[in-house]
Amino acid sequence: MTVAVEEIKSLLRFYQALGFGDLPITVSPAGKAAPAEDMQQGDAEVIMGVLPADQTGDKDDQLRGLRDYIGDCQRCKLSKQRKCIVFGSGNAGARLMFIGEAPGKEEDLQGLPFVGDAGMLLTRLIEKMGLKRDDVYIANIIKCRPPVNRDPEEEEVAACRGFIEKQIAIIRPTVIMTLGRIALQSLMNSPDLKITAARGHFLDYKGIPVMPTFHPAYLLRNPRDKMLTWSDAQKVLARLGLSAGVKK
């Protein structure tokens, strides 16, 4: 019993530290469900969501707080081989957020997202949209590099997804663009979504429009599909009320 309570407490503290103020659970009317005898008053408050979440500070502060909370993460086995945790970079006040899959070799070395070959193509897309990398925010579903760039495993996504969710909640971008199949399926929690069918159409993530498009690494191998990503980007620009970027 005590072990289970400790596990629940630790999970709730985790969600609280991520800034969740409420939990989607129904609490029985007072008196019906007696609290477990070894629970303290504070635990009941956490469970009922009455303790304030730590939402002080501006968006930069909140992102820093989240980064501090992640710490020298050992929550999944990717921690064993990574060099750097790649948290994300860009403008905390961004209206447009790009979400990729996981760091590759170069990102793992530099601790920054999308700084390798695929990153250069993403930078060119951003610039073609008439924006700079500093205008947008770029992050990945997974913060540590999977060995030999294999697909992240379900438990690795599960260990990390709270962090991208919290980054989105802090930044509250106007539009999200997901890059590639894994980012799309992981963010939307829908393993059956197909990138070729889903791209080009807005989806909804907690009220934020999400435009799925191809991964830049895929586009490097299939340059003819760059046209399709550009048409997805134009829909994003229209949503942002921006003109269609710089024509090249």
Contacting positions for ligand URA (CB under 6 A):
100-104, 107, 113-114, 116, 118-119, 140, 180-181, 195, 214-215, 218
Beta bridge partner(s), residue 94: none
Nearest distance from C-beta of residue 156 to ligand URA, angstroms = 14
Nearer to ligand URA, 49 or 173 (CB): 173
Nearest distance from C-beta of residue 150 to ligand URA, angstroms = 13
Nearest distance from C-beta of residue 168 to ligand URA, angstroms = 16
| CA 145 to the chain's CA centroid | 15
Q: Hey, what long-range contacts does 70-77 have (CB within 8 A, 24 or more apart)?
A: 70/143, 70/163, 73/143, 73/144, 75/159, 75/160, 76/144, 76/155, 76/156, 76/159, 76/160, 77/156
What counts of helices (H) and strands (E) characterise the chain? 10, 6
Nearer to ligand URA, 19 or 119 (CB): 119
* Nearest residue to ligand URA on Cβ basis: 100
Query: Are 138 and 88 within 8 A, CB to CB?
Result: yes
Nearer to ligand URA, 40 or 196 (CB): 196
Nearest distance from C-beta of residue 240 to ligand URA, angstroms = 22
Nearer to ligand URA, 95 or 101 (CB): 101
Nearer to ligand URA, 49 or 100 (CB): 100
Query: Are 169 and 143 within 8 A, CB to CB?
Result: no
Nearest distance from C-beta of residue 3 to ligand URA, angstroms = 38
Over its C-alpha atoms, the chain yields an Rg (Å, rounded) of 20
Nearest distance from C-beta of residue 218 to ligand URA, angstroms = 4
Nearer to ligand URA, 19 or 185 (CB): 185
E strand or H helix at 197, and its extent?
Answer: helix 195-198
Q: Which of 45, 51, 47 is nearest to 19 (CA)?
A: 51
